[in-house]
Structure 1
Amino acid sequence: MNESVLEASGIGVRFGGVRALHDVRIAVRAGEVCGLIGPNGAGKTTLFDVLSGIRPPDAGRVLLDRTDVTRRSPAWRARHGMRRTFQRQQLFGQLTVAENLVVAQEGGRWRRGGSARARARAAEVLSVCGLSELAGAYPGALPVGLARMAELARALAAPPRVLLLDEPASGMTDGERQQLAAVVRRLAADEECGVLLVEHDVGFVMDLCSRVVVLDLGELLAEGSPADVRADPAVRDAYLGTTESGPAASAECDPPSPR
């Protein structure tokens, strides 16, 4: 079994008197696609903020390739192989899609054209993501689904060790979701990247992920294969009983995290 590229244990976060996370543990192995699901307010986005370094936990620690990164910055984690996408588009609107990928490889600094190596890698990633024809487009002109795919492409511009995807399929067409799933599977299988994704489309999660973690009220409710999680009575009572019989839940409603 592959070793974990990302581990968190004993994670606790409070917003004033509100306990957002309590004693949460999670691990993502190299080459694995792991899903993180749960009701609105369960703590999923807060956990992503802790894992990516946006919010330090009040308790617990985070390891990246067995190195303690609990107090390391998001930029440090990115330089050492952690990438994240967000619910809201984070692309630079004044740069083209291809230029966004070049900047992502050059430490966020833009110099016109970028290096030949960065441009070649950008073209390769755009091809994998089915975006080659949109290389010269500006993010603001793209439909939501394609903009999300472009943000995924930017996260892959420098090959990641672990990828955190926050609502990646939101706003996508069926065809775009299939493309997204294909890219994620290829990334895990061919490059042994560990992938952790938050997604309210339960069917998408169950089809794509080999393991699923469920949060409820800031605590770990269940963990296992998609079949085991789907059959768990506690999970059905807390979450799947509503999401699988009706429309997917709305966007995550964790307490706001400071940016």
Structure 2
Amino acid sequence: MLKGSGITKRFGGLVALSDVDFEVNRGEIVGLIGPNGSGKTTLFNVISGFYKPDGGEVSLLGERISGKPPHRIAAMGIGRTFQIVRPLMDLTLVENVAIAVLYGRMGISESTEAKDKAYEILRFTGLAAKAYSLPGQLVLEDRKRLEVARALGSRPEIILLDEVFAGLNRKEILGAIELTFRIRDEYRVTIFMIEHVMKAIMESCSRIMALHHGVKIADGKPEEVANHPEVIRAYLGADYAGN
């Protein structure tokens, strides 16, 4: 469904991504891990059009998307959340999501209908009771859920989740894992997710890809990647990898 071939991105003399290949198949939940600075969010920014790659290409359902502006890529079916949540603070939750609906892929152009659809999405994400609250009144867990709800409002084929589990406690993580499966199963949305919370990655994903210094070092089943010597070395150092 989503494929990258030889993705390279440079910032001056820094190579943030180097010849990275990846695939995400329809219906999968795929995890992307790596230490801070390994290139994870840079890869998401390339996929979603915020950065233009210096080499390689990204395709969605066989059509090249790399180099297109973010709004065109979103219109083709890629939604995303951001690590730093930035809702429209002066608008209610339902208005935040309704804007995504109006400018998304549902073909809705009437505000009342958009708000109805937004309320349905808020109910799905567990935020219906707070639909007419302002984002500043939300706790962290609910701000993360609002970010997901806004992404779902655009009716994506695939959603890029950037650390939606970060900062949550154990109970909240379990709730977020459940929501992740429901997004895939009930909304039929494929998921590609960056995460540092290994419990979430191990329990949510059928496959994990690992980056280190912009290079892909592993790709496979969660248990295989978690025990891969290069992954252990990247996270814990050579001593822990048996060297």
On whether the aligned pair clears a TM of 0.5, the verdict is yes
1:207 paired residue among 203, 210, 217? 203
Partner of 1:73: 69
Which residue identity is paired with 2:133?
A
Any conservation in 1 of the 2:48–2:73 contact (CA below 8 Å)?
Answer: yes
Tell me, in whole angstroms, the C-alpha distance in 2 between the residues paired with 1:67 and 1:210.
25
Tell me, in whole angstroms, the C-alpha distance in 1 between the residues paired with 2:154 and 2:50.
20
Deviations 1:90-116 (A, max 9, x none): 2111100010010111128xxxxx533
Tell me, in whole angstroms, the C-alpha distance in 1 between the residues paired with 2:75 and 2:46.
17
1:140 paired residue among 136, 141, 163? 136
Any conservation in 2 of the 1:162–1:193 contact (CA below 8 Å)?
Answer: yes
Partner of 1:221: 217
Partner of 2:27: 31
1:60 paired residue among 32, 47, 56? 56
Partner of 2:179: 183
1:161 aligns with 2:161: no
Deviations 1:49-70 (A, max 9, x none): 1011000000000101211011
Any conservation in 2 of the 1:145–1:173 contact (CA below 8 Å)?
Answer: no
2:188 paired residue among 174, 186, 192? 192
Any conservation in 2 of the 1:146–1:172 contact (CA below 8 Å)?
Answer: no
Which residue identity is paired with 1:177?
I
Partner of 1:100: 96
Which residue identity is paired with 1:100?
N
Q: CA RMSD in A?
A: 1.8
Any conservation in 2 of the 1:215–1:222 contact (CA below 8 Å)?
Answer: yes
Partner of 1:87: 83
Tell me, in whole angstroms, the C-alpha distance in 2 between the residues paired with 1:147 and 1:218.
30
Aligned residues: 234
Tell me, in whole angstroms, the C-alpha distance in 1 between the residues paired with 2:14 and 2:237.
26
1:7 paired residue among 3, 8, 25? 3
Any conservation in 2 of the 1:163–1:196 contact (CA below 8 Å)?
Answer: yes
Any conservation in 2 of the 1:146–1:176 contact (CA below 8 Å)?
Answer: no
Tell me, in whole angstroms, the C-alpha distance in 1 between the residues paired with 2:119 and 2:98.
9
Structure 1 residue ranges, 4+ long, deviating more than 3 angstroms after superposition: none
Tell me, in whole angstroms, the C-alpha distance in 1 between the residues paired with 2:174 and 2:141.
12
* Residue 168 (structure 1) shift: 0.6
1:41 aligns with 2:28: no
Tell me, in whole angstroms, the C-alpha distance in 2 between the residues paired with 1:187 and 1:204.
15
* Residue 171 (structure 1) shift: 2.2
- Percentage of identical aligned residues: 39
Any conservation in 1 of the 2:78–2:157 contact (CA below 8 Å)?
Answer: yes
Partner of 1:252: none
* Residue 240 (structure 1) shift: 6.0
Any conservation in 1 of the 2:79–2:154 contact (CA below 8 Å)?
Answer: no
Q: Secondary structure at the match of 1:156?
A: helix
Partner of 2:229: 233
Partner of 1:117: 113
223-232 or 189-198, which deviates more: 189-198
Q: Secondary structure at the match of 2:117?
A: helix
Any conservation in 2 of the 1:32–1:192 contact (CA below 8 Å)?
Answer: no
